[in-house]
Amino acid sequence: MQNFYVKDIVEAANGRLLCGEPTVSVESISTNSKEIGSKCLFVPIIGERVDAHRFIDSAIEAGAAAVLTSEHEAMDKAVPCIRVENTVTALQEIGRYYGRTMNIPKIGITGSVGKTTTKEMVACALSAGFRVFKTSGNSNSQIGVPITLSRISPEDEIAVIEMGISMPGEMKRLARLVDLDSAVVTNIGVSHIEQLGTQDGICAEKFRIADALRSDGAVFLNGDDTVLLGHMHELNRQVVLFGLGENNDYRADNIISGETTEFDILKNNIKLCHVKLHVPGLHNVRNALAAVAVAERYGITAQAAAGALEGYGGISMRQQIIRHNGITVIDDSYNASPDSMKAGIDVLCAVGKGRRIAVLADMLELGDDAARYHGEVGEFIAGHNVDELITYGDLAKNIGVTAACNKSLKIKHFDDREQIDAYLKRELREGDTLLFKGSRGMKLNLCVEALCNK
């Protein structure tokens, strides 16, 4: 944040200054009292277990320039204190206020799977022509998006904003915070279906991103996704399709996939460029297609965007390939859904040269049909060239049950991660390739760390 002061925070949040000077400068925002930087505004969030108002004094001691509060009517502190009705709502209004002072094109990224990877690829492609601001990590929530907006600087020329939801109404709230020129929807899966009901309901919620678009804005949709295709007529905006099918405006041809992925990009069946990605998987082909399509909208040639994408190297715990003691590890442990599980299996089969071993844990937040979704993954594995399946978690047992129709597939189940660690230490041999995939809460990344001695 630049040229932003306590008086601006009071105005943006419709707050009341309880103490301190309105001319104090604020350059950053944090909701964590342990991560207070210079000239930082501390925003205490009331969570399910902890009310962060108890850390206000700690934040001030750590150097906070100002603090928000929803629990005090009077304060006498060494820094400005601002009374607001709700600290989360105030944070959102501050992000919205500051973000609108940064008059640059903004592209929103949403979808059930692949938001962060697509965001990174779009930013990479745009870097061929702009100084690009992008969401840090996956700070895509009701709290993460306003903090993201507060980090845009006057030097940035274009911004890529990741926007995630898990509950009804959340995209509508996020959309009012951001003025978008374009939006990308990666796919509609079953992530968060427990809260959002159906895939049609998920699609309707994701499509509220269009509320943030200007009238001449464009929506880039995965044209291989049948749910998106079935609802795209509901978007009152220009629609651009990307994907592998011939119905897409931007599509891939002559795909060669292994540890690297090469393909041609066609626009309206005319070849634009050749792309070489240093990451595996057909899902990354779609991500790259979206990136090139967005880049062209902002005046960057497909060739220049493709050249920039050659420098993309992937993201930690998202199909990150690690080699250790003659073994290849595909660390895809950050999160999981049925679609991303299947994509991970495809990568395992493309990358693996020796034994291919899939270590799969529970996929969470899938609602009443969770067992069926896990079973579908097992059926998928049974039809692919996987040598061994290791499952972890009560739901993941269903993967093994349906995969057992492939009699040549070795299947093991474990009830705790330490058992997996011991088994792998005993059984692995040089040349093996392992995929680790499960929901974040299952913490399969700890198995990767144990295996690779991190």
Strand 433-437 relative to strand 356-361, pairing: parallel
Q: Mean pLDDT across the chain, nearest whole number? A: 94
Question: Residue 88: its pLDDT value, please?
Answer: 96
Structure tokens that stand for 454 in this block = 């991190």
User: Within 10 A of 65 (CB to CB), how many other CB atoms are there?
Assistant: 23
Question: Residue 210: its pLDDT value, please?
Answer: 95
**pLDDT above 80 for 428:** yes
Question: Residue 314: its pLDDT value, please?
Answer: 79
Question: Residue 139: its pLDDT value, please?
Answer: 87
Q: How far apart are the first and last CA of the chain?
A: 36
Sign of the CA dihedral with 187 first, then 191, 192, and 197 last: positive
In three-state secondary structure terms, 276 is strand
Question: Residue 191: its pLDDT value, please?
Answer: 79
In angstroms, the CA 133 to CA 139 distance is 13
Residue 242 host element (H or E):
strand 238-243
Sign of the CA dihedral with 187 first, then 192, 195, and 198 last: positive
With bands split at pLDDT 50, 70 and 90, how would you rate the model's confidence at 281? confident
For residue 35, give every residue at least 6 positions away whose Cβ sits within 8 Å of its Cβ, in sequence order, or none.
Answer: none
Q: Nearest CA to 113 among 238, 251, 232, 225?
A: 225
Averaged pLDDT, 335-342 = 90
CB burial string 207-241: b at 16+ within 10 A, e below? bbbbebbeeebbbbbbbbbebbbebbeebebebbb
In angstroms, the CA 43 to CA 427 distance is 50
Q: Is 303:422 a contact under the CB 8 Å cutoff?
A: no
For residue 205, give every residue at least 6 positions away whose Cβ sits within 8 Å of its Cβ, in sequence order, or none.
Answer: 165, 168, 169, 170, 171, 196
User: Within 10 A of 137 (CB to CB), how many other CB atoms are there?
Assistant: 13
Q: Which domains does the chain have, with CATH numbers?
A: 6-87 (3.40.1390.10), 102-309 (3.40.1190.10), 320-452 (3.90.190.20)
**pLDDT above 60 for 454:** no
**pLDDT above 70 for 356:** yes
In angstroms, the CA 189 to CA 369 distance is 13
Averaged pLDDT, 83-88 = 97
Question: Residue 259: its pLDDT value, please?
Answer: 83
In three-state secondary structure terms, 299 is coil
Residues 175-209: pLDDT tens digits? 999 999 999 999 998 877 878 889 999 999 999 99
315-318 — which CB contacts under 8 Å span 24+ positions?
315/116, 315/117, 315/120, 317/445, 317/448, 318/116, 318/117
In angstroms, the CA 317 to CA 144 distance is 20
Averaged pLDDT, 10-17 = 97
Structure tokens that stand for 153 in this block = 């600087």
Averaged pLDDT, 245-254 = 96
Q: For residues 166 and 306, which has the higher predicted lDDT (pLDDT)?
A: 306
Structure tokens that stand for 148 in this block = 């993201």
Segments of 294-355 assigned E as strands:
320-324, 327-332
Helix extents (H) in 127-192: 144-150, 170-175
In angstroms, the CA 165 to CA 248 distance is 26
For residue 449, give every residue at least 6 positions away whose Cβ sits within 8 Å of its Cβ, in sequence order, or none.
Answer: none
Structure tokens that stand for 319 in this block = 């199909």
pTM for this entry = 0.87
